[in-house]
Amino acid sequence: MLQFEQTFMDFLLEHQERHNRTYHFLILMNSILNAAKRIQHYYLTGALRGNLGLAGSTNVQKEETLHMDVIANDVVKHYLRASGRVIHAVSEEEEEPIPMNADEGRYFVYYDPIDGSSNVPHNLPIGFLFGVAKRDLGRPENGHLRAGRDYIAAGMFVIPTGAFTLALRNAGCWRFHIDEVMNYVKPTRMILPESRKTWELSFNSANRDTFASAVRTWVAENENSYAFRYMGSLAGDFHRILTNGGLFLYPAIVNHPDPSKNRPKGKLRLMYEAAVAAFMCCEAGGDAVDESGIPILDIRPETPHQRTALFLGSKQLVDEIAAVLKKSGIPA
Ligand code: FDP
């Protein structure tokens, strides 16, 4: 028996028509889907083609670059530029915002083409994350430094599993799966479960002694109430939280035995990691705050590659930890 599921593009077309919108966003999303499918292909064949190792350079974060970082960044850049709809993009892999179509573009795109790089040599799940903001004709443009609250959409592909989740502003968070002809299909609305039964905690447990004392105490008091899962890829770990509920946390590192390894501002990047996940999480009924308990979506970046601590997931747990963070007065 043949079975036909609604494709992502049909879903989006319906959405745009229902809201009397133009097709520009569809064209942008088509380019992002094309990029994701190419990254998926290069990753699936990565072990065979020798693309899972180091490229021999370092990126803007002073991290060693992988072949896959270079390939994926080039792929995304190509498709975004070809769409003609992007004013400029911010990539994890490039120091400066990438100019594209300054005159006729409508969107700013912030992306991390390969998130969770420690999984790459093993061909295990990684993410391609992106956030989208729109040109604002009413005020002077500063598009590459928009707060998450200004995004109109944010999404992530978990590669190579074929899962794609997209949140649209005030229109929910939706998950799709890739089918046998490489279409993303079968929209399912994601709403974080109320019941604590399935909730999980997700964090790098090896770092626990380096957290601020209020965070350490909260973790010690709560960890036995929930299952513990950690994949080492924000996209993969957050994918689980979106389904099962719970809390993903990457707190600031403030008590490292080697002080040069402290990360008082956190590790994750605001514009293309934390704000993207926070936008999706909020559209699914959850929330996200930084180390001082401030909503991630309210943080206006001062630089494109700014870092932040992140507490992300079910609203009740985010509220609990936010109260602890605010009370302890941990600075941003
Ligand atoms: P990675 O550095 O391996 O690219 O910021 C990226 C990120 O992965 C997230 O995807 C992930 O959640 C986190 O950092 C993993 O960091 P640890 O290896 O320190 O746990």
Quote the CA–CA distance of 33 and 21 in Å, as a whole number: 20
Q: pLDDT tens-digit profile of 126-163?
A: 999 999 999 976 666 666 789 999 999 999 999 999 99
Axis crossing angle, helix 8-18 with helix 24-44, rounded to the nearest 10:
160
Alpha helices in 150-233 (DSSP H): 213-222
Per DSSP (E only), the strands in 169-223 are 173-178, 184-189, 200-202
DSSP secondary structure code for residue 274 in this structure: I
Return the pLDDT at 139. Answer: 64
Return the pLDDT at 332. Answer: 46
C-alpha 148 to ligand 1 mean position (Å): 20
What is the percent of the chain with per-residue pLDDT over 70, rounded to a whole number?
96
CA separation, residue 280 to residues 156, 166, 185, 210, 274 (Å): 9, 7, 19, 28, 10
Quote the CA–CA distance of 290 and 287 in Å, as a whole number: 11
pLDDT at 100 over 70: yes
Q: What is the mean pLDDT of residues 166-187?
A: 97
The amino acid that residue 101 corresponds to is: N
Instruction: Indicate which residue's Cα is closest to atom 4 of ligand 1.
Output: 116
Quote the CA–CA distance of 108 and 28 in Å, as a whole number: 10
Q: pLDDT tens-digit profile of 215-269?
A: 999 999 999 999 999 999 999 999 999 999 999 999 999 999 999 999 999 999 9
- Quote the pTM value: 0.95
83 C-beta closer than 6 A to ligand 1: no
C-alpha 303 to ligand 1 mean position (Å): 20
pLDDT at 34 over 80: yes
118 C-beta closer than 6 A to ligand 1: yes
Mean pLDDT value across the chain:
94
CA separation, residue 154 to residues 130, 133, 206, 291 (Å): 6, 9, 30, 22
Place of tokens 């803007």: 60
Return the pLDDT at 274. Answer: 98
Q: Before 160, cis peptide (omega within 30)? A: yes
Quote the CA–CA distance of 8 and 13 in Å, as a whole number: 9
Q: What is the mean pLDDT of residues 305-324?
A: 98
Q: pLDDT band for 63, please (50, 70, 90 cuts).
A: confident
Q: pLDDT band for 62, please (50, 70, 90 cuts).
A: confident
